[in-house]
Amino acid sequence: MHTSSSDQRTATYSATPRTRPTRKPDRAHYDEATVHAILDEEFVCHLGFIADGAPVVLPTLYARVGHRLYLHGSTGSRPQRSASDGLDVCVTVTITDGLVLARSAMNHSVNYRSVIAHGTAYRVTSPDELSTAYDAVIEQVVAGRSADCRMPNAKERAQTAILRLDLDEVSAKVRAGGVADDPEDMELPYWAGVVPLARTTAAPAQDPAQDPAITLPPYLRTEI
Amino acid sequence: MHTSSSDQRTATYSATPRTRPTRKPDRAHYDEATVHAILDEEFVCHLGFIADGAPVVLPTLYARVGHRLYLHGSTGSRPQRSASDGLDVCVTVTITDGLVLARSAMNHSVNYRSVIAHGTAYRVTSPDELSTAYDAVIEQVVAGRSADCRMPNAKERAQTAILRLDLDEVSAKVRAGGVADDPEDMELPYWAGVVPLARTTAAPAQDPAQDPAITLPPYLRTEI
């Protein structure tokens, strides 16, 4: 059971049977700083839910606002249609930081940071909260952008649906650092080490239909 | 219902009610070339299954071998323990290729390629198939590596579990290209365009405990 609530937050989420890993417990983290930093670095989560008795996992845009996630979808999509009365979900965000090449096949690994949140998601219906969520989803992708585009009109709002998931039952898992080979393997002749991975951006390509006098905004020069 | 089987493959997977998208059907692809190319570019999938009646999504290493996925785990992990009699899963692989910044908030999008596979996964028990799967998972991460490390011994094999999922009910979704703004928005003064995203590698960092005379293998110079 979790002990935190929106009125009584501490800086740590509480472990529950579902968020306690069955193995490698040293990789689990529950502090908000670790959990939120991972959530804030990405913008695509994998949203799991049950449809017709079977699991479904959809890549989904999201935003974190405080202790809450907003999950983006169209009003016609399966999870959004199902969520009026609450939809049990598992939201997973994964960032891969490196390939860990050990001397033994067994000790090969991946450096990664992931967050898994369990809970019941609800359709956002309040116009104010919807506005907050729309802005947050755009900001999650490119900070600074929500103030520099045309906001949705009434018709567009009616086509977009947002699910809200309160962050209560949530944990992070982090694997970092170098190779961990067994002592008896240390002299084996296989190259061992870490290949760092990162997501990078290339030069933004302006819409050819746009007047080139409209220059790249500052948030695309500094944030990306 | 799908019409392909392992004896009777065509170059296209068959659409089923689950793999037919509820929206943007033009983004769906069922041909093997598209599906396999996406699967072959990644090595982390998001594995969805049901545990105690609730959805769970775990980042999981995988490999594709022909029309089959192998999903890597420890014998103690939840999906591997549950899968002796078959475990209903949804396996999703997502690659993000770019941020699409439109003039309107509504038309913001992400260029991505994803594959979703539904089916029943089974624990691999045949020693030969396990060896194939171990090699394939390492090759999926770094092609060439499985022949250049110490293979698992009997004890290590006993700690590793592999699930097999036959690719039958599978589809790809692809969003590519530029901005798609509404005609009435084209003259708005907001910068519009695409910010390309890619996963890149930095210089491999050798394990400091290893003799530097062991130099970087060719597959790390050419494949990554």
CB–CB of A178 and B204 under 8 A? Answer: no
Task: Chain A: give the shortest CA distance to residue B216, in Å.
Answer: 6
What whole-number distance in Å separates Cα of residue A204 and Cα of residue A78? 33
Q: What range defines the domain where residue A216 resides? A: 25-179+211-220
The answer to the question of residue A71 being in a domain is yes
Q: Supply the DSSP string of A10-31, one letter for each residue.
A: -SBPPP-TTTS-SS-GGGEE-B
**Residue A24 vs residue B97, higher pLDDT:** B97
Residues in chain B with CB shorter than 8 Å from the CB of A120 are none
What whole-number distance in Å separates Cα of residue B1 and Cα of residue B123? 24
CATH code for the domain in which residue A150 is found = 2.30.110.10
The answer to the question of residue B184 being in a domain is no
Question: What Rg value do the Cα atoms of chain B yield, rounded?
Answer: 21
Which strand (E) or helix (H) includes residue B64? strand B54-65
Which residue in A138, A191, A196 is closest to B108 by CB distance? Answer: A138
Which single residue is written with the structure tokens 């009910």?
A: B169
pLDDT value of position B221: 85
Reply yes or no on whether the pLDDT at B3 is more than 70. Answer: no
What whole-number distance in Å separates Cα of residue A119 and Cα of residue B16? 29
The answer to the question of residue B17 being in a domain is no
pLDDT value of position B52: 92
The answer to the question of residue A2 being in a domain is no
The answer to the question of residue A117 being in a domain is yes
The answer to the question of residue B92 being in a domain is yes
CA dihedral B140, B93, B48, B156 (to 10 degrees): 10
pLDDT band at A203 (very low <50, low <70, confident <90, very high): very high
Q: Rounded to 5 degrees, what angle do the CA atoms A181, A185, A189 make?
A: 110
CB–CB of A191 and B148 under 8 A? Answer: yes
Best mutation target among B49, B82, B207 (most A Cβ atoms within 10 Å) is: B207
Q: What is the pTM of this model?
A: 0.92
pLDDT value of position B7: 43
Reply yes or no on whether the pLDDT at A157 is more than 80. Answer: yes
pLDDT band at A75 (very low <50, low <70, confident <90, very high): low
The answer to the question of residue A92 being in a domain is yes
Total number of domains constituting chain B: 1
CB–CB of B94 and A141 under 8 A? Answer: no
